[in-house]
Every structure is written in structure tokens, then in C-alpha cells.
Amino acid sequence: MSSIHIKQGHIIDPANNINRIGCVYVAEGKIISVTNEPAGFKADSVINAQNKIICPGFIDLSTRLREPGQSRKATFKTETTAAASAGVTTMCLQPDTSPVIDTPAVIELIKEQAKKANYPQIYPISALTRKLEGIELSSMLSLKQAGCIAVGNANQPVRNLLILRRAMEYAASHDLLVMFRPNDYWLGNNGCVHEGAFATRYGLPSIPEAAETIALAQCLELVELTGCRVHFGQLSCKRSVIKIHQAKKYGLQVSADVAIHQLHLTENDIIPFNSNYHVLPPFRTETDKQYLRQGLASGSINSICSDHQPHDLDAKLAAFPETEPGIAALETLLPLMLKLVEEGIITMQQGIASLSENPARVLGINSGALTEGFAADVCVFDPQMTWQVNSDNWKSQGVNTPFWGQTFKGRVTHTLQAGKIIYCLEKAEL
């Protein structure tokens, strides 16, 4: 394995409190120094990071790669290429694949597919209940032994609170993280937009914020009862942020993330009948957006995720309520985070921590930091480089994004995964 010298970049490593100009030395797939050049070090390749930022590779807590089972939408190859171009070196794969990730055999299949795509750091989130039906618990212990990083039920409901309680007790007994997206299925009533002015104006089926906050409150009570570690994914409203803040203050083992697009868009930004704005949870009010931003800045919300969901063209061609929800979001993750920094919502250190150190802590893995001895998962990006979201620059098979045609600032130039250069902008543009 080659040795790499990343030189004269602005190193930002929140986990180790590093914020300075310097070099990073990589050998045998690991970080060997971020201070002085090791004795006898000979670099096989040099990356000039002048005027660029060197930081830990990003960890995405919620992605869908559409394999196995939905390769018409996307493949491991296309989406791992997109991830590498976005500086993402680790991804958590949601369990709603086909077949569902509820057996060790499916986990092994995912590992094989990841290996073929030369992107081994894909962590499956296994189903909390068999086939995600919300009725019968999955075999969590065998799934953990097979390699799942956590358990969850994706966007599918758990039939009742007793089943959820038993699931959380089971998970707690095996020290498994539960990843829970709070949404009361019945209150949500198959809605597609926030219950507010936009829904009323266009007569669209809506989802009240109570669908999220009531489910969140119930789960928090069960966290206290069971002692289970729970990560709440893709929060979308003001009262959710308040409840998470209170739960942390109370000492519960909880964490939370927010999808990057929820920090920038509201129901007022939706272009009527443009299904690229159809997401779950839906875009909510300006007040909700500001509270999400404040929650991120204060630490109530730990992490940012892409909630990447690529779709084929047909999935977005029907009437708005009948289209499939989700945004292809990997490649806009970094520039949208940098936009928060530019607007003064968070610092650069906070932004990078929310994409690296904090997700690593949620998962309990030795990653998300430029620590000597850790795997060399590194992202090098130019915060000033501008680029346009178009077919020339886009890697994902899914083009379902509301940001198509927009110009962003901030682009990844190099991505290293376990000391291997998996993306180089110059080579990609040849």
C-alpha cells in the first residue's frame, strides 16, 4: 500500500482540536502523523493541499444505494462514486432494500457488493422488525454478529408501543444502537407536505408536525424505561429540537441528526407540482428551519446526514402526492454545509464535526478523526471553488434534486479511504 504526503493544507480535525496549516502523512492505510514528517518517510505520491482544507472523511448516517433489488434507480457503483466525489468515506445503509436487511445472508450480500464497488465502508442498518412489517422482532443478535452497525425500521411504522418496547429491550441487552425516524404513521395519513399554508393552497394531503413530535415523545419515554441507546434521524421541526434538548439535559442516551436540505428549504420554497421537493419528513416552516439550525449550532442535534435517496425518472413523473419521496443528496452535502458556515449559523469546525467526529461517536467507531493509527479516511476540499449542479458534474444515477442547475461554492478535490485515493477531481474531469 502506497504512502501519501498531503502537504500544506489547512487541517481541521475537531476530534483532536486541530485547526492550523500543516501536513498529513499516510502509510499502510493509516494516519501516521499530522505534525512532523516521520523519520525515513518516503512518499509514493504527494497531494498539494495549498489553499484547501484537509479534514476527516465524512460519515453519512442515512443513505439508500438502491441495491440490492432496485438497480434501475441506482447501483452500488454509481452511488459509491458519488459518495467519493462528495468526500464521504463511510455510509450507513437503511434497511428498506429488496430483500429487506433482516437476515445475515442479506448483510453478506451487501458486503460483497461493497467490495466489488471498491468501497468497503458501508455499514448496514438492519431491520428492527422482520420484513419491516412492525409486528415480529428481527434476530438482532445474529444481525449484529453478521456486521450490522445498528437496527431501525426505516420509514415503516412499528405496529404498537409494546412491540417497540420489546425491540428496544432486546437491542439494549445486546448493546445495539436503535436508529429511529419519529413518525406516527396514522397521524401522517400518507401525506406529502407539511400541514400548513402550502398544503391548504394546493389541496395536498399533509403531515402535521405532531406526527413527528408525538412519536418522538413516546420513544423518549421508552428510552428512559429500557435504557436503550437511540439515535433519532432526520428531525424536521421546532418541538422535536426542544424535546431532544430536554432529553439530553435529563441524561438519556440519545442523539439526533438532520437532513442537510431541511436546514435550507421550507414549505415556502416548494415549487408547486415539482416532485423533487417531495421529501419525508416534509419541508416545514421558516420557524422550524431556524430551530433546526439553532439545534445544530448548540449541539442538541449532533450530526448532519444527506438522507440520500436516488430515484429513476419515472418515480418523480406522477402527480406530486403519488411520486416517491426523496432527494439525491450526496453531492450537495458539502456545499450546503459550507453555506451554513458562510451564513454564520455554525463555524467550519462545527460543520466538519457534524459530518465526521459526531457521527463516528454515534456509531461507536474509530473514525471521523485524523488520529495517528486510525484508518486514513481523509477529505481534501477547496472551499472557494464554484461548480454547477449539472450532468457534467453529477455522479449519482439519480438526478432528483431541487438544486439542479444551481451554482455552489465548495468542492472536494481528493478523497482517501483507508489510505487509498478513491477520488481525484483532476482525474475525474479528464
Is residue 162 pLDDT above 50, yes or no?
yes
CATH superfamily of 4-54+375-382+406-428: Urease, subunit C, domain 1 (2.30.40.10)
380-392 mean pLDDT: 97
Question: 193-202: per-residue pLDDT in tens?
Answer: 999 999 999 9
393-411 mean pLDDT: 97
24-45 mean pLDDT: 94
Q: Give dist(CA 103, CA 148) in Å, integer.
A: 10
Q: Strand 30-33 relative to strand 150-152: parallel, antiparallel, unpaired?
A: unpaired
User: C-alpha dihedral over 241, 244, 249, 250, to 10 degrees?
Assistant: 150
Which pLDDT band, with edges at 50, 70 and 90, does 430 fall under? very low
The reply to whether domains 4-54+375-382+406-428 and 57-363 share a CATH topology is no
> Domain coordinates of the chain in residue numbers?
4-54+375-382+406-428, 57-363
Q: Does 96 participate in catalysis according to the annotation?
A: no
DSSP labels, 296-322: HHHTSS-EEE--B----GGGGSS-GGG
Question: 272-331: per-residue pLDDT in tens?
Answer: 889 999 999 999 999 999 999 999 999 999 999 999 999 999 999 999 999 999 999 999
Is residue 266 pLDDT above 90, yes or no?
yes
Cell of 323: 411520486
Question: Across all residues in the chain, what is the average pLDDT?
Answer: 96
Of 13, 96, 184, 307, the active-site residue reads 307
Q: Please report the pLDDT score of residue 157 as a whole number.
A: 94
CATH number for the region 57-363 comes to 3.20.20.140
12-34 mean pLDDT: 97
What share of the chain in percent tops pLDDT 90? 96
Alpha carbon distance, N-terminus to C-terminus of the chain:
25
| Beta-carbon-side half-sphere exposure of residue 114 (alpha carbons within 13 Å) | 19
Cell of 427: 482525474
Is residue 414 pLDDT above 80, yes or no?
yes
H-helix segments, 323-403: 333-342, 348-355, 357-363
- Contact criterion met (CB below 8 Å) for 226 and 169: yes
Question: 328-385: per-residue pLDDT in tens?
Answer: 999 999 999 999 999 999 999 999 999 999 999 999 999 999 999 999 999 999 999 9
Is residue 429 pLDDT above 80, yes or no?
no
- Contact criterion met (CB below 8 Å) for 96 and 64: yes
Question: 79-132: per-residue pLDDT in tens?
Answer: 999 999 999 999 999 999 999 999 999 999 999 999 999 999 999 999 999 999
Q: Give dist(CA 400, CA 329) in Å, integer.
A: 9
